[in-house]
Amino acid sequence: MTTKLFIKAVTKFLFGVVFVGLLIFLPAGTFSFFYGWLFLGVLFVPMLFAGIVMMCKNPALLKKRLDAKEKQNEQRLVVTLSALVLFAGFVVAGLGHRFAWYTLPKGVAISASVIFLLAYLVYAEVLRENAYLSRTVEVQQNQKVIDTGLYGIVRHPMYSAALLLFLSAPLILGSLNSFFIFLIYPFLIVKRIKNEEQLLEKELDGYCEYQQKVKYRLIPFVW
């Protein structure tokens, strides 16, 4: 671990907390928004612990996760659209609190929080299993096909976890309107996976054989 990496990680983390907080609480017009605080807690507390673990155990992986700049135009578009979905969903959730739109029961938000945290655990397991993980679509030097663990169930378990995270987030915020906005995300994931697999088929040895072994990309017995 280097001082530069530590400062970069802390800066990005704090920026994320402040930025997401502003997207939620500014439209809400108040900090007295239980669902907003619940979401910040389930999002950033596990993220903090995961960052600490990566910083101590695998700083190279942390550096890869922080240095995320897509090179392909199609993937940059997917990332941009995903960010817009997030922004719109958070803002609508805040506005829903301000203008007393329909709010989901607290039981739904708590249940969604449990799903969110379980998805985080899946995400952490994927990071443990695959040292080649990057936030960008690329094939790294000496990269090998991982076909055990979660990768023996679906080919893209990281995106499976991301799907659960995205779809449970608006429910934690208590916003049905936001949930409908977040339903755009599965279509973006499908587009990203299809483009990524085209690259892997061409550039990663053994990936075509892996596709024959593990049939499902995202959800077992579905797709």
Separation of alpha carbons 168 and 163, rounded Å? 8
pLDDT band at 138 (very low <50, low <70, confident <90, very high): low
Stated pTM of the model: 0.88
Sorted by where each begins, the domain ranges of the chain are: 3-213
CA dihedral 157, 161, 167, 169 (to 10 degrees): -160
Residue 130, helix vs strand vs coil: coil
135 pLDDT more than 70 = no
Separation of alpha carbons 146 and 151, rounded Å? 6
pLDDT band at 17 (very low <50, low <70, confident <90, very high): very high
Instruction: Please give the backbone phi and psi of residue 175, each rounded to the nearest 5 degrees, phi first.
Output: -115, 110
pLDDT band at 71 (very low <50, low <70, confident <90, very high): low
Question: 154 with 217: CB under 8 angstroms?
Answer: yes
Which one is predicted more confidently, 149 or 111? 111
List the structure tokens of 118.
């379980």
As assigned by CATH, the class of the 3-213 domain is: mainly alpha
